[in-house]
Amino acid sequence: MYLFLAQAAQKPPMSAHFVFIGLIFLIFYLLIIKPQKQKQSEHKKMAQSLKKNDEIITMGGIHGTVLNVKDKIVVLRIADNVKIEIQTNAIAGLRKSKPEVSSEGIETKA
């Protein structure tokens, strides 16, 4: 009985702590860091591929059409005779085109 109590009182080896910390970091990387990096690279590719007449949505929810693309600035037309300049990192994404409805009521892709 005393032998059992003595074994229970022993501490786990230090390497077990490092393995546990390594597993936590691996899970953290796979669930948080890697998806965020992928999202950032997709956003960067989208921002670099912007061209005139692309329809976009800003982070603030403004819908507009690209008139001019500079280095880090995009000129948007948000209404007739209304133009704004925004930074490319403020673009949330490209606006998906809405399906057009024909006179028969059938949706067609634009």
CATH number assigned to the domain comprising residue 87: 2.30.30
Residue-level pLDDT at 6: 58
Can you state the percent helix, strand and coil of the chain, rounding each to 5? 40, 30, 30
Same domain, 57 and 85: yes
Q: Which domain holds residue 15?
A: 1-49
How many C-beta atoms surround the C-beta of residue 86 within 10 A? 19
Distance, in Å, from the CA atom of 83 to the CA atom of 50, rounded to the nearest integer, reads 17
Continuous H helices in 29-77:
34-48
**φ, ψ dihedrals at 49, nearest 5°:** -95, 10
**pLDDT tens, per residue, the chain with 110 residues:** 555 655 656 777 888 889 999 999 999 999 999 999 999 999 999 999 999 999 999 999 999 999 999 989 999 999 999 999 999 999 999 988 665 555 665 656 55
Q: Are residues 43 and 55 in the same domain?
A: no
